[in-house]
Structure formats: C-alpha cells, structure tokens
Structure 1
C-alpha cells in the first residue's frame, strides 16, 4: 500500500469514529487526535471515554424545553474546559442557542480556553476566573442555570457546586466527586464517639480506611442532602473516564419535592458519626 493510500485509509478511519461536523482542530487541542489528525490506540480510548461521558449529559440536555436549544450549562472546576468544549462542539454548536460557562480559579487556563474558543468560533462559551462560591453571586452568570457539572472537583468544591446548583435552581447536576478529605478529617478528630465502643469503629481505625470511609460517607451524605432539597438522585459508575478510582457519578434531577425522610436520615447519620457541625456549613436544612 502506497503512502497516499495509507494516509487516505487513516483519514477514513478517523472520520468513521467521529460524529458528523465534529471539530478536528478541537480534538487535536485536547490531544484526542494526534498532531497529524490521526487516531492511535490511546486516542481511540480517549475518544470512547469522551463519548461515554457526553451521552449522560446529552440525554439530560434533550429533556429541557426545545430539546435543550436554549440551555445554560455551568462547568465547575473546569481546568482546561475539556468537558465544556466537547459539549459545545457536539451539542450546542449546531443549535444556534444555549450557553456554556467554564468556571476555574487558574487564570492561565481561563486565558487559554478563551483563546481556543475564539479561534474555533465558539462564541457562546464564557470562561470565568472565579471560585465556585464566588460564581454563585457573579453578575456574569444568569440567575438560573439549567445544568451544573463538576467533574473531579476536589474535596469541598463539589459541595460548593451543589450549593451553586441549589442557588441557581438547576434542573440537573452531574457530579464526579474527588478527594473527599473534609469528612475523613472530622472522623479523625471526633472518632465518631457514638460508635467508638462498637465494632463499627474498625471502619476508620487505620488511616487508609479512614480516608476511604470518609469518601464513601461524604457521597452518601451528599445524595441524602440533594434528596432533602428536592432532587431525585441516581448513582452509577463513570466507566472509562481517565485512569482514576474516583469513578462515582452522581446525577441529580430536580423534582421540587423535598424528601423529609432523606433529611431525617441525613441528620441521623451526621449525629452517629459526630459530624452534626456540618449541618451549619455543608448540609444546611430548612
């Protein structure tokens, strides 16, 4: 096979994997395609991961009025805005409406994202150099946001994203928590006195287990809190997203029907584990 034929075959392989109209330049910038615009084994894996993640969010967007044509989406802890760019390219670009906001504290990443969006003509993307907490009251954001995402937002940044979603009356939240250290630190300090004389104390006797049980407990508390605030919650695995054990995907759908039973269980769990102080910070209930 000649070099020309090989090149044509490589291009055909790429086009077969991509969705119609998908930006080749963007995929190169995100290192999903090689500099030559080709797919190798690693880039095929990355592309599969991207599509797997996107399918969760696309389904939610299409449930919005006009199948999401005018939807607003805020991506917290955006980093290089990998997720925001992919969603815009695959969903918003062809619709002529809707807006994606990337929220990130590192100014250099914000500038790079703004430059890339301008180069690609993604004019309904905005990048804000703010913390999650600051963004809740920022004038650059609308009063209501349809979809809130926070993927691998570290420790309490996920809780800040939930607070943002509640304040903005988000219809959907898509969360992949990471580095849940706060509850583990509280467990080490209080030793969950109510349970310290029972075999359950073995769950956090060793530091590694303290971290793991703290992570698990944090996400359980978050799910109960969302249910208590009027959301239906689904917990699943985000299979294939990066090489990380932080693979738990929480999808919250706003119903407006707050569950009193979830609020009661939340209070009980916090009391059992000596974490009642979090009712005044992370898990404020009516």
Structure 2
C-alpha cells in the first residue's frame, strides 16, 4: 500500500509542476487559487485553463502598451470596464503593476457582490493600487475619476457596454483602448424594426431577412461601426483574433491607439453604412458626429 500512496503523490506533484510551467514567471499562485483558476491543490481543469489562456493572450497585447505608457517614470492609469470577477485586472496588476511599483487599476462593475469580492481580495493580497467601483460602464464617465486614463479595457463587456467603454475612453482621452466585444444585440434590433421597409428598398436586406442572419449581421455591423467611429475620433485601429475559435466564439479583439488624426473618410463611411442599413437612429445614439 505504501508504494501506491507514494506513486499517487508523485503523480500529483508532477501534475502541479506541469501547471506551474504554464504560469508566467512571478505569477502569484495564491491569486490564481483565489480566482478559482487553480484548485487548492494547485491544479487546473480545462475550463480554467481556457480562461487563463485568454487572459494571458490578452496580456500579451496590453503589456507593451503599458510599457510605452510607463516610460519616463509615468504612473499608468488603467480602467477595466465590465470587470466581472476582475480576472484581467488582477492578473495585470500581479504581472505588471506590482513589480512596476506605480500606477493604478480601476475596475468598473455594476454587480455589487462582485465588486465587494474584488475589494476584499485586493486587500487580502495587498494590491493597494487597485480600486473597484460599483456602477455601470455608462455611469463611469460621470463618476469622480481622473480626467485622463492611459488605457481602457473591456473584456467581454456585453452588448452596449462596449460602446459605453468607448465613450468613456473618448471622454478620458485614453491613449489606448483594448476591447473584446460580446453579445451585440442593439444593431440587430434596429435591423429587425426596419426589415420590411429595407426588403422593399434594397436586395442587401436579404443579408438579414432570416433571424439568425439578423443576429450575426447585427453583431458584425456593430463592430465595423465601432472601428470606423474610433478612426473618425482620432484612433488607429487594428482588429484581430483574441484566441483560436476553438476556445471562444466571442473572439474579436479591437485595439485602438490615439494618434489625433481624425479620418474624415471613416466618418463618411460610417454615415453611408448607417443609411444603407437603416441605422441612422443607432448612429445618433452610439456614434454621434
């Protein structure tokens, strides 16, 4: 019996070592356990591994932006919208802000119980330069916050919360925005509302005649409008995949860097798409001139 117990112990130790090999250098194991990415035994299931891979992959895009912002001793200020359980915010702090020794992360989340949990965890881990606000993304621009933020993130902020994060970034003159949209429904609702009129007006309306096409096209158009709006507002925009499609269907990553060069052609195309698809009301609400 004793050799069997020893063998089981060796197998567990090997599994723990394999998990540690997947972590970033200096990554807090205690943090990952508190976020339930690791079990109390230091192991990881497939769902947690997928979640961690997404956050790590996003970190690869955000880290160079933070390094750029932190040059010359500047203290980076980052707003994490739709923070949820703050996986992204905590890992950004653990891997970048903590060793940097300066800068602050502000997590914005409307679910009060998640905000309280994040505050308690930040205190437990002595992550002193993290704070969390119990409010919607839409209300954050009017909150008592600094007038400028360096980086604005929104990881899987649902439906119009991504648009609210963009509005916040514009209001706070963000140098960078990192957005992973999720569950866009507003444009699809506008398409459904005007479907009969558009079917009579243009054959393009066949693109959203069937409900499933309405949903998918609405999602696609929403992200196209967001990119054009950012370009019209002075940002250089890059669109890429967050991770492989086998890991998540909500996989589009929008990176926006402020250049100050407002593209008139982007504004014109934004208006043209709105007119072609009958989305003028949406433009006035979400992407005003």
Could you tell me which runs of 5 or more consecutive residues in structure 2 were left unpaired when the two chains were aligned.
none
Per the alignment, residue 247 of structure 1 pairs with 251
Given that 2:55 and 2:87 are in contact with CA atoms closer than 8 Å, whether structure 1 keeps it comes out as: no
Q: Describe the shift of the 1:44–1:110 C-alpha distance in structure 2 as closer, same or farther (beyond 3 A).
A: closer
- Aligned pairs for 1:59-74 within 5 A: 59-66=64-71, 70-74=75-79
Matched, 1:118 2:117: no
User: What pairs up with 1:219-230 in 2 under 5 angstroms?
Assistant: 219-230=223-234
Q: Identify the residue that residue 267 of structure 1 maps to in structure 2.
A: 271
Alignment-derived partner of residue 177 in structure 2: 173
Q: Matched residue of 1:180: which SS?
A: coil
- Distance (Å, rounded) in 2 between the aligned partners of 1:49 and 1:222: 22
Q: Structure 2 CA distance, aligned partners of 1:238 and 1:248? A: 6
Cα separation, 1, equivalents of 2:73 and 2:66: 5
TM-score, reference length from structure 1: 0.92
Question: What do the CA deviations read for 1:124-158 (whole angstroms, capped 9, x no partner)?
Answer: 0000001112111211x211001111111111111
Question: CA contact under 8 A between 1:194 and 1:274: conserved in structure 2?
Answer: yes
Distance across 1 between alignment mates of 2:105 and 2:282: 32
Question: Residue 68 of structure 2: SS of its match in structure 1?
Answer: coil
| TM-score, with length taken from structure 2 | 0.91
* 1:15 CA displacement: 3.3
Which residue in the other structure is 2:89 paired with?
84
Match of 1:190 in 2: 194
Corresponding residue of 2:159: 155
1-structure distance, mates of 2:102, 2:31: 20
Query: 53-62 vs 187-196, which deviates more?
Result: 187-196
SS of equivalent residue, structure 1 residue 281: helix
Distance 1:227 1:68, change over 3 A: farther
How many matched pairs?
284
Q: Distance in 2 between matches of 1:180 and 1:41?
A: 27
Any idea what SS the aligned residue of 2:143 has?
A: coil
CA contact (8 A) 2:190 2:282 kept: no
For 1:49 and 1:153, the matched residues in 2 are separated by 15
Structure 1 CA distance for aligned equivalents of residues 118 and 198 of structure 2: 49
How far does residue 8 in structure 1 lie from its aligned partner after superposition?
Answer: 4.3
- The 8 Å contact of residues 75 and 148 in structure 1, kept in 2 or not, is answered as yes
Contact 1:228/1:259 (<8 A) preserved: yes
Name the structure 2 match of 1:200: 204
- Kept in 2: contact 1:195–1:273 (CA 8 A): no
What is the Cα-based RMSD across aligned positions, in Å?
2.1
Q: CA deviation at 1:9?
A: 3.5
Q: Deviations over 1:55-76 (max 9, x none)?
A: 1111211121427861111011
Distance change (3 Å), C-alpha of 1:170 and 1:152: same
Q: Which has the higher helix share?
A: 2
| Aligned partner of residue 156 in structure 2, secondary structure | strand
Name the CA distance, whole Å, in 1 between partners of 2:169 and 2:103: 18
CA–CA distance in structure 2, aligned partners of residues 46 and 278 of structure 1: 33
Secondary structure in 1 aligned to 2:221? helix
Question: Structure 1: which 5+ residue stretches go unaligned?
Answer: none
Paired with 2:245 and 2:87, the residues of 1 have a C-alpha distance of 12
Matches within 5 A, 1:100-119: 100-119=105-124
Candidates 53, 57, 70, aligned match of 1:52: 57
